[in-house]
Amino acid sequence: MRWKQFLSPIKNMGIDEAKSFIDEHKEGSFILLDICQPLEYEIGHIPGAKHIPLPELSERIGELSSEKPIIVY
């Protein structure tokens, strides 16, 4: 996938580890990216998450800052 070239891969995080990261970092210092489909996002998402469905990610990658860590779920 072409969008992968824009993201620096890191190890996978479990739920607890991701929650700890979010809790320990100032809001706005990272991006929480929800790649679910629109209906899934409407049903439930983490408040403050940026929503870009996975099929749209390559076209919308410019909406993300390369200066901040991105947590994708």
Radius of gyration of the chain (CA): 12
Which residues partner with 70 through β-bridges? 31
Contact between 41 and 2 (Cβ < 8 Å): no
d(CA 48, CA 9): 22
* CATH number at 1-6+29-73: 3.40.250.10
**pTM value > 0.85:** no
- pLDDT reported for residue 65: 84
SS3 state of residue 9: coil
Helix, strand or coil for residue 10?
Answer: coil
pLDDT classification of 1: cutoffs 50, 70, 90:
low
